[in-house]
Amino acid sequence: MDICRLYKAELKELFKERGEPSFRADQLFEWLHRKRVSDFERMTNLPASTRVWLASEYSIPSAECVRRQVSSDGTEKYLFSFSDGNCVETVAMRYEHGLSVCVSTQVGCRMGCRFCASTQNGLVRSLTAGEMLAEVYKASELFGEPVDSVVLMGIGEPLDNFDEVIRFYDILTDSSGYNLKNRSVTLSTCGLVPEILRLAALKKQLTLSISLHAAFPEKRSSIMPVNLRYPLDELIDTCRQYVALTGRRVSFEYTVIHGFNDSEEDADRLTQLVRGFQSHVNIIPVNDAGRGISQATRKQAESFADKLTARGVNATVRRTLGNDISAACGQLRRDTVAN
């Protein structure tokens, strides 16, 4: 069983059941998440007998790097393999504010977004919190720098793996562990309404980002089947509730597909949707996912952002990193699995 997914309070409970003092849990948590030791044998301040039962009943997930691509802009993309042979992608990007790591939350995805390479073979399984933590720790080790922020925008729908993603967030931001700032995590979802409400009730300080990509219901349904289950109006209403409950603004990801979603009417409709609550629109020039979706140029993306800004919307064009290493989620895994 994955020991890295356990909260410190659960580790304390574990030691209590074994008749061992609770400070052992503090020591173990520090080995796992601060010193990031991946072998119980090396936890030298734990008694030998403790290390033996831990090793016989628990495992420390590791992310083995089986492929590594380095972009001309310094972005690095890793294909990590877990103990069962399943692979996910993790991307490390350096921004002005430091190193940002894009984490996968599932092996594959069942959401079926048309522009996304991650969903082409459906969902294989969800990752444990410990496996997601292993992505962050390994990416930091390979990149040679501490991680300053994490975005849950890799392979998978984070809210389709709700409990493990919350564990991941809580453990990553625990001050006695990796101690990432709790506002340094962004969770991106295609729009699972019940889970967004569940998340809002927890009042976490992470940034919620909604993959919107179209402002008209029919258009959105044609590229994102989730829109048939949770229609646009319901999703936007849920975002309003999220802002009211958490006090945190919501980000909207909008991938510009030239000629499809970047007209004046699209800008009008998008403005109506995001008006009246704390929001921000992130415009993304699409990476070619190889599914017949044409790539918008940066200029086309900027032109659409200008339309929104002129209408009073808080919109920016995202800097795209790693274009030369196919950094859009799912592409490396797809290419590798297909080969």
Active site residue 329: yes
Are 93 and 322 contacting, i.e. CB atoms less than 8 angstroms apart? yes
SS3 121: coil
Q: What is the DSSP letter of 262?
A: -
| CB closer to ligand SF4 out of 225 and 306 | 225
Q: Kindly tell me which residue out of 90, 100, 119, 326 binds ligand SF4, with binding defined by CB under 6 A.
A: 119
Who's near 262: CB < 8 A, 6+ residues apart?
A: 256, 296, 300, 303, 304, 307
Residues 241-270 as x/- pattern, contact with ligand SF4 by CB under 6 A: ------------------------------
Q: Which of residues 281-310 bind ligand SF4 (CB under 6 A)?
A: none
Residues 206-225 as x/- pattern, contact with ligand SF4 by CB under 6 A: -----x--------------
Q: Does 139 bind ligand SF4 (CB under 6 A)?
A: no
Q: Does 156 bind ligand SF4 (CB under 6 A)?
A: yes
**CB < 8 Å & 24+ apart, contacts of 293-299:** 293/114, 293/115, 293/257, 294/257, 294/258, 294/259, 296/255, 296/256, 296/257, 296/258, 296/262, 297/258
Q: Does 227 bind ligand SF4 (CB under 6 A)?
A: no
Distance, CA of 289 to CA of 330 (rounded, Å): 9
Looking at the DSSP assignment, which residues form a beta bridge with residue 2?
A: 59
CB of 39 to ligand SF4, least distance (A): 33
The interface region with ligand SF4, picked from 59-67, 85-93, 114-122, 215-223 by CB under 6 A, is: 114-122
Residues in the interface with ligand SF4 (CB under 6 A) total 13
Please count the residues of the chain: 339
| CB closer to ligand SF4 out of 43 and 190 | 190
Closest C-alpha among 207, 308, 214 to residue 256: 214
Catalytic residue among 76, 89, 195, 253: 89
Q: Kindly tell me which residue out of 109, 210, 286, 325 binds ligand SF4, with binding defined by CB under 6 A.
A: 109
Q: Does 105 bind ligand SF4 (CB under 6 A)?
A: no
| CB closer to ligand SF4 out of 155 and 257 | 155
| CB closer to ligand SF4 out of 102 and 180 | 102
The interface region with ligand SF4, picked from 31-39, 89-97, 149-157, 177-185 by CB under 6 A, is: 149-157
Q: Does 195 bind ligand SF4 (CB under 6 A)?
A: no
Q: Does 118 bind ligand SF4 (CB under 6 A)?
A: yes
Are 184 and 224 contacting, i.e. CB atoms less than 8 angstroms apart? no
| CB closer to ligand SF4 out of 100 and 119 | 119
SS3 125: strand
Q: Does 328 bind ligand SF4 (CB under 6 A)?
A: no
* Cα distances (Å, whole numbers) of residue 216 to 139, 255, 338: 38, 14, 34
Distance, CA of 57 to CA of 267 (rounded, Å): 56
SS3 162: helix
Contact residues for ligand SF4 (CB under 6 A)?
A: 109, 111-113, 116, 118-119, 155-157, 190, 211, 329
